[in-house]
Amino acid sequence: MAKKVLVTGGAGFIGSNFLNYVLRQRDDWEVVNLDKLTYAGNLENLKEIEEKPNYTFVKGDITNNELVNYLFEKYRFDYVINFAAESHVDRSILGSEVFFRTNVVGTNVLLEASRRFGIEKFLQVSTDEVYGSLGETGLFTEQTPLSPNSPYSSSKAGADLMAKSFHHTYDLPVVITRCSNNYGPYQFPEKLIPLMIINALNDKELPVYGDGLNVRDWIYVIDHNRAVELALENGKPGEVYNVGASREMKNIEIVKLILKILGKPESLIKYVKDRPGHDRRYAIDSSKIQSELGWKPSFEFEEAIVQTVEWYLKNKSWWERIISGEYQKYYETQYGQR
């Protein structure tokens, strides 16, 4: 029997890569993609799969109780994978309300419907940012206490706690994955890597926050998606699985690497005012998912970053449409210039 799968936020960066990846090989899933199509949602990302008979798109908000219940009634989902979220830290600093609404209230609406109708597994896509910030050494494990610092990461931690409580209280089969920073095709150009690639291509300044020495742990989006699929099917209810590829990089190293790949000068780099409350370092220990579920990253950073840069070079029309519109207003607010 085919599994009925509700994927939320499937028109965003990670969700669309997930659907493109999973629907290429799984005829045993019938997928409904529920996405509000906020500024970050883009149906162009799903052109490859939109005609598939086992795929349905529904434009809607995960905070809409009535709609969510209607969909559960209609499709009787076996699996729920919750990618939908407001995902950008800088936007959460400019205004936190929508982060609370979508990330916390929206997750709660999905959990309530899952409890009411009964499901086989609920996969909450979370982030390592719920653990807060590390010093020079150490790694986040699943035992690291939650200590989120930004409105974004606080809302994700809130959603994680709500999801965990549904397992503890109602025995809802919830699994949480906490992944480090992703890169790859279709990432919205507000995030570090695509922003720097596009600015470099346009010979615009590359705005590096603070001293540029903050560290992020990078993973190629498909490796994250494979972990989500595995944790959904084989993860133990109530458990958290950290996901990461052990590829720590200082921001300035990434920026210089992108310039090198593109053959652009380092004089484009501009150090700008730091992000308020900027987390210094993220680094993830993913040994649990490796030993318990047999996952391991399969993409080498050196190759995958070059492929990612090439994707942005080949898909200029995709990002040009984005930066010519609404996004321009955000860019002016955030960076004070065009």
Which of these, 160, 86, 105, lies nearest to 128 by C-alpha position?
160
According to CB under 6 A, which residues from 37 to 66 bind ligand TYD? none
Write down the catalytic residue from 61, 129, 160, 217.
Answer: 129
Is residue 75 part of the annotated active site? The answer reads no
Bridge partners of residue 206, in order along the sequence:
269
Question: And the tokens for 221?
Answer: 């989006």
Print the binding letters for residues 232-251 with ligand NAD: x by CB under 6 A, - otherwise: --------------------
Q: How many H-runs (helices) and E-runs (strands) does the chain carry?
A: 13, 12
Q: How many residues bind ligand NAD (CB under 6 A)?
A: 31
Per CB under 6 A, does 195 bind ligand TYD?
Answer: yes
**Which member of 144, 182, 214, 308 binds ligand TYD (CB under 6 A)?**
214
- To the query of whether residue 129 is one of the catalytic residues in this protein, the response is yes
Rule CB under 6 A: is residue 156 a binding residue for ligand NAD?
Answer: yes
Alpha-carbon gap, residue 169 to 166, rounded angstroms: 5
Q: Calculate Rg over the CA atoms of the chain.
A: 19
83 scored as a contact of ligand NAD (CB under 6 A): yes
Does 220 help bind ligand NAD (rule: CB under 6 A)?
no
Cβ-based neighbour number of residue 67 at 10 Å: 17
Q: Which of 26, 38, 234, 280 binds ligand NAD (CB under 6 A)?
A: 38
Instruction: From 97-105, 203-211, 230-238, 322-330, give the range in contact with ligand TYD by CB under 6 A.
Output: 203-211
Distance in Å, CB of 216 to ligand TYD, minimum: 5
Among 4, 5, 8, 259, binds ligand NAD (CB under 6 A): 8
| Annotated catalytic residue 300 | no
**Contact between 254 and ligand NAD per CB under 6 A:** no
251 binds ligand TYD (CB under 6 A): yes
Task: Let me know the angle formed at the C-alpha of 227 by 284 and 42, rounded to the nearest 5 degrees.
Answer: 100
Q: Is 147 helix (H, G, I), strand (E, B) or coil?
A: coil
Please, where are the H alpha helices in the chain?
Answer: 13-25, 65-75, 89-94, 97-99, 107-117, 151-170, 192-201, 221-234, 251-262, 287-293, 301-314, 316-323, 327-335
In sequence order, the 6+-apart residues with CB closer than 8 A to the CB of 253 are none
Give the CB-side neighbour count of residue 169, counting CA atoms within 13 A: 9
- Rounded to a whole number of angstroms, the minimum distance from the CB of residue 18 to ligand NAD is 9
Residues within the interface to ligand TYD (CB under 6 A)? 89, 181, 191-192, 195, 207-209, 214, 216, 251, 275
**Residues in contact with ligand NAD by the rule CB under 6 A:** 8-9, 11-15, 34-38, 40-41, 61-63, 83-87, 102, 106, 125, 127, 156, 179, 181-182, 188
Query: What are the catalytic residues?
Result: 128-129, 152
